[in-house]
Amino acid sequence: MQWLIIFVIVCLIGSMISDRRKERKQWNKGICPYCGKEWILYDVDSSGGRMYRCENWHYCSITHNIDKKKSVKKNM
């Protein structure tokens, strides 16, 4: 039984890491990877996920804490 729990935990961590990596790639240090414009904070959802858009209306949503420098402290 124990190995099953360990397996599940490893899977969860693995998917968290790959999610974060994907977001980090999309976030691209604050620059839209499609057109090179800066991401603009567009909306913050109730769970704290940030929606960004660029000048050319590309979107990205960031749920991990990878956009610290740019996020506006809306929900204190």
Q: What are phi and psi of 49, to 5 degrees?
A: -75, 140
Q: Which is nearer to Zn ion, 58 or 70 (CB)?
A: 58
Tell which positions 56-75 bind Zn ion, by CB under 5 A: 56, 58
Site string for Zn ion, 14-43 (x = CB under 5 A): ------------------x-xx--------
What single-letter DSSP state applies at residue 39?
P
Give the count of residues interacting with Zn ion (CB under 5 A). 6
* Sheet bearing 40-44, strands edge to edge: 40-44, 50-53, 59-62
Residue at token pair 């604050």: 30
Residues that bind Zn ion (CB under 5 A): 32, 34-35, 54, 56, 58
